[in-house]
Chain A
Amino acid sequence: MGEPSKPLRAAVIGCGGIANEHLPFLAKSPLIELVGVCDTSRVTAMFAQQRFEVQGWFLNAEEMLAATRPDVVHVLTPPQSHRPLVSLCLNAGAHVVCEKPMTASASETAELLALARQQGKWLVESRNLLFNDIVLKIDRLLDDGTLGEVREIDLLLSLDLNAGPFGDLNLEGPGVQLPGGAVHDFLPHLAYLFLHFAGEAKLDNRVHGVLENRSGNSRVGYDHLDALVMAGSCRGRLRIASDLKPDMFRLVVRGTRAVAESDFYNPFLRIQRAVDSGKMAPFEQIRSGMSLARAGIGSLRDKVLQHGTYHGLPRMLEAIYQALRDGQDSPIAATDIAATAALVDRLIGLRSAQ
């Protein structure tokens, strides 16, 4: 047997909300040595350092990179700061895992991907939902032919973007400093999920719909998206709504043989096959009802055990670090990141004048 590989040295820039999802994995994974955390707030950096037993804390990213020489840096700051920080880390010779949205546009994403290529480093934009239980289950239904060929993908994120910090009128400036406002923060999820189930098909420029501000909240920017996207033989309806209740993140994948429906916030899986129609429909409804009851118990267990919407994130990080260690290809390819950014650009192009 060969020597066990040395753990990869990881560091984090930005210790706010999303860092609480990255750091627990980084702190306990045997693949990783957590060498530094950095935040512009001293107390935030110190709290993260103590809580996750990190080797050092820093207020300045350049100083941290010089002092800790990390192999991988997680850029977890607000989106408008990603571009300079990602460049800084790549130029310092580190691989980068960046939270979404990585940049404000596809051209900026392309620039950063080119820089990563030039430096011989990985640049990975987070796509944690692809590693969630329900996506993995639907992937299996596609692989075993249950769903047939995918023809339609419906995604609906129903969440009041005005209620959280994005729309908090006590704070100054825009809630999200991106062209698509608060909606922009969630667009990569919708775009990569659509492209994943559509088979990363090349878009044929048919994106229709509206991106607008329905609430009148000046800070939120845009809070409503309703878009139709065509990709080869696939159609998609991508929606973000701030005026619906309850909160949900609904996913429906319709194929030539069956339909699969689920929800990221309160997971369940309903499968309606071609044979589940006519006289057989009541049996499918009974089966689905029982499945829904089981899902309810599962959701209760998930809530108690804190198996939340972010449960795919540690799996994604594990896949990235294992691939890095083993010299394999990144589980999230640069071409997929570029395709996601291109679709996000088109969705942003739907915006109404404010």
Chain B
Amino acid sequence: MKVLITGASGFLGQAVVRAAAAAGFEVLALVRPTADVSRLAWPDNVEVLRGDLRQKGEWKSRINVDCVVHLAAAPSGDLATQFAGTVLATENLLEHLALKSLRRFVHISSFSVYDYSTRPNKGVLDEAAALEPKPEARDAYTITKMIQERLVVDTCDGAGVDCVIIRPGAIYGPGKDWGFGKAAEFRKCDLIFAPGAIFRLTYVDNCADAIVKAINSPISSARIFNIVDDDLPSTWAFHKACRRAGAPAGRAIPVPWLIVSGLGRIVRLLNRAAFRNRAKLPELLEFKRQQARWRPMRYSNKLAKTVLGWSPAIGFEEGIARTFGQKGSADGA
């Protein structure tokens, strides 16, 4: 089975390529023309295809595959930049895929599509949770990831293609440590917002494993899967573990969610009253974005485990050790 993996040289993409190749798939890894893949030491069943999905280049004639794992996106920059790298890139890809012969499209979405302003059923955010009703009030990433996901679902449904949506939590691993969970730093102190809230983490190789399982697992009626690990720490515990593993983290100062959200509510009121909601504020002060990042919730990975047969192999302590090099890097080097 030939699988196209877009965004293959990215942080998650590299791990997905390794896992897909190890699972015996014939991998076509789409990387940007300037990407350096020589250091990645991919095995022989990985073919590298160079191209940029933002443009309709030569890549479009070489993507005759059985399955697509679509990771490519632009997670930063202004709205125009993220729109081009996430939405236009996806539109171009879908336009040139031979959808009729495609067995499955595995799309990598994000937890950012969920609505964090309402409390989910029993306080557990799972695949049935409501989606963000006003993405434009949050940020460009939410706007573009929501449009991208809708575009994929509509196109696949229209063409009768089997479509799986993977929504990973915060992916960590060597090279990506989420600032050890700090919201801000001041001199040698790290401010930890909502220290008791669960940090919805997934170790990069665990997430890659779930994605590879989604390539050919029978999925019946389920199509959306949240990916978080089993032993999720609190933000406070994450910071402590990072520090213990040798990360250059500062002294942790806890700021309870009540204080964070209280400040956010006051700022929101002031913004409404004084600026008719025109003020654009940093994430630390904007209530809607505070909720998306720090509001205490619980998370479920039950569906991915039961339907995809996935189980996160790397526990939290092991993941932290790998992230900070105590037991070598994730690729075993």
Residues in A lying within 8 Å of B, measured CB to CB = 16-17, 20, 41-44, 47, 51, 165, 169-172, 303-306
Q: Which residues of A sit under 8 angstroms from B331, Cβ to Cβ?
A: none
Chain A, Cβ-Cβ closest to B87: A43
Which of B91, B151, B275 is A305 in contact with, Cβ under 8 Å?
B275
Give the distance to chain A from B150, nearest Cβ to Cβ, in Å: 9
Chain A, Cβ-Cβ closest to B80: A17
Give the distance to chain A from B144, nearest Cβ to Cβ, in Å: 9
Find out whether the CB atom of B52 lies under 8 angstroms from the CB atom of A42.
no
Give the distance to chain A from B276, nearest Cβ to Cβ, in Å: 10
Cβ-based interface call for B88 (8 A): yes
Q: A41-B91, A170-B34, A171-B52 are in contact. Are A304 and B151 (CB under 8 A)?
A: no
| Complex Cα spacing A41 to B55, Å | 12
Q: Which residues of A sit under 8 angstroms from B275, Cβ to Cβ?
A: 304-305
Cβ-based interface call for B280 (8 A): yes
Find out whether the CB atom of A171 lies under 8 angstroms from the CB atom of B55.
yes
Cβ-based interface call for B60 (8 A): no
Find out whether the CB atom of B279 lies under 8 angstroms from the CB atom of A171.
no
Given contacts A165-B81, A170-B33, A172-B55, 5 further A-B contacts (CB under 8 A): A42-B91, A43-B87, A43-B91, A165-B84, A172-B57
Give the distance to chain A from B133, nearest Cβ to Cβ, in Å: 14
Q: A51-B136, A304-B279 are in contact. Are A20 and B88 (CB under 8 A)?
A: no
Find out whether the CB atom of A44 lies under 8 angstroms from the CB atom of B83.
yes
Kindly supply a per-residue 1/0 record for chain B positions 17-36, scoring 1 wherever the CB is within 8 Å of any chain A CB and 0 otherwise: 00000000000000011100
| Complex Cα spacing A17 to B87, Å | 14
| Complex Cα spacing A306 to B78, Å | 13
Find out whether the CB atom of B88 lies under 8 angstroms from the CB atom of A44.
yes
Cβ-based interface call for B1 (8 A): no
Find out whether the CB atom of A306 lies under 8 angstroms from the CB atom of B55.
no
Find out whether the CB atom of B34 lies under 8 angstroms from the CB atom of A41.
no
Give the distance to chain B from A314, nearest Cβ to Cβ, in Å: 13
Find out whether the CB atom of A20 lies under 8 angstroms from the CB atom of B151.
no
Q: A304-B279, A305-B278 are in contact. Are A44 and B87 (CB under 8 A)?
A: yes
Q: Which residues of A sit under 8 angstroms from B91, Cβ to Cβ?
A: 41-43
| Complex Cα spacing A103 to B273, Å | 45
18 contacts between A and B (CB under 8 A): A16-B84, A17-B78, A41-B91, A43-B87, A43-B88, A43-B147, A47-B83, A165-B81, A170-B32, A171-B52, A171-B54, A172-B55, A172-B57, A303-B280, A304-B281, A305-B275, A306-B278, A306-B280
Cβ-based interface call for B79 (8 A): yes
Find out whether the CB atom of A170 lies under 8 angstroms from the CB atom of B281.
no
Closest 7 pairs between A and B when the two form their complex, measured CB to CB: A17-B80, A170-B32, A170-B52, A304-B279, A43-B91, A170-B33, A306-B280
Find out whether the CB atom of B280 lies under 8 angstroms from the CB atom of A304.
yes
Find out whether the CB atom of A43 lies under 8 angstroms from the CB atom of B34.
no
| Complex Cα spacing A161 to B52, Å | 20
Give the distance to chain B from A186, nearest Cβ to Cβ, in Å: 17
Interface centre among A20, A43, A44 (most CB of B within 10 A): A43
Kindly supply a per-residue 1/0 record for chain B positions 57-95, scoring 1 wherever the CB is within 8 Å of any chain A CB and 0 otherwise: 100000000000000000000111101100110010000
Find out whether the CB atom of B55 lies under 8 angstroms from the CB atom of A47.
no
Residues in B lying within 8 Å of A, measured CB to CB = 32-34, 52, 54-55, 57, 78-81, 83-84, 87-88, 91, 136, 147, 151, 275, 278-281
Q: A43-B87, A44-B88 are in contact. Are A169 and B34 (CB under 8 A)?
A: yes
Which of A17, A43, A51, A172 is B151 in contact with, Cβ under 8 Å?
A43
Q: Which residues of A sit under 8 angstroms from B83, Cβ to Cβ?
A: 44, 47
Chain A, Cβ-Cβ closest to B58: A172
Q: Which residues of B sit under 8 angstroms from A169, Cβ to Cβ?
A: 33-34
| Complex Cα spacing A47 to B79, Å | 12
Q: Which residues of A sit under 8 angstroms from B87, Cβ to Cβ?
A: 43-44, 47
| Complex Cα spacing A169 to B52, Å | 10
Give the distance to chain A from B184, nearest Cβ to Cβ, in Å: 18
Q: Which residues of A sit under 8 angstroms from B33, Cβ to Cβ?
A: 169-170
Q: Which residues of A sit under 8 angstroms from B147, Cβ to Cβ?
A: 43, 47
Q: Which residues of B sit under 8 angstroms from A51, Cβ to Cβ?
A: 136
| Complex Cα spacing A303 to B280, Å | 8
Give the distance to chain A from B8, nearest Cβ to Cβ, in Å: 14
| Complex Cα spacing A298 to B79, Å | 25
| Complex Cα spacing A16 to B33, Å | 24
Q: Which residues of A sit under 8 angstroms from B81, Cβ to Cβ?
A: 165
Q: Which residues of B sit under 8 angstroms from A171, Cβ to Cβ?
A: 52, 54-55
| Complex Cα spacing A43 to B278, Å | 27
Give the distance to chain A from B57, nearest Cβ to Cβ, in Å: 6
Q: Which residues of A sit under 8 angstroms from B55, Cβ to Cβ?
A: 171-172
Find out whether the CB atom of B88 lies under 8 angstroms from the CB atom of A305.
no
Chain B, Cβ-Cβ closest to A44: B88
Give the distance to chain A from B257, nearest Cβ to Cβ, in Å: 24
Find out whether the CB atom of A20 lies under 8 angstroms from the CB atom of B54.
no
Q: Which residues of B sit under 8 angstroms from A305, Cβ to Cβ?
A: 275, 278-280
| Complex Cα spacing A172 to B56, Å | 10
Q: Which residues of A sit under 8 angstroms from B79, Cβ to Cβ?
A: 20
Give the distance to chain B from A152, nearest Cβ to Cβ, in Å: 35
| Complex Cα spacing A304 to B286, Å | 12
Give the distance to chain A from B77, nearest Cβ to Cβ, in Å: 9
Q: Which residues of A sit under 8 angstroms from B34, Cβ to Cβ?
A: 169-170
Q: Which residues of A sit under 8 angstroms from B57, Cβ to Cβ?
A: 172
Chain A, Cβ-Cβ closest to B88: A41
Chain B, Cβ-Cβ closest to A173: B55
Give the distance to chain A from B131, nearest Cβ to Cβ, in Å: 15
Q: Which residues of B sit under 8 angstroms from A41, Cβ to Cβ?
A: 88, 91
Chain A, Cβ-Cβ closest to B150: A43
Q: Which residues of B sit under 8 angstroms from A170, Cβ to Cβ?
A: 32-34, 52, 54
| Complex Cα spacing A162 to B280, Å | 28
Q: Which residues of B sit under 8 angstroms from A16, Cβ to Cβ?
A: 80, 84
| Complex Cα spacing A41 to B93, Å | 12
| Complex Cα spacing A275 to B280, Å | 42
| Complex Cα spacing A171 to B85, Å | 12
| Complex Cα spacing A165 to B77, Å | 12
Give the distance to chain A from B38, nearest Cβ to Cβ, in Å: 17
Q: Which residues of B sit under 8 angstroms from A20, Cβ to Cβ?
A: 79-80
Interface centre among A51, A170, A305, A306 (most CB of B within 10 A): A170
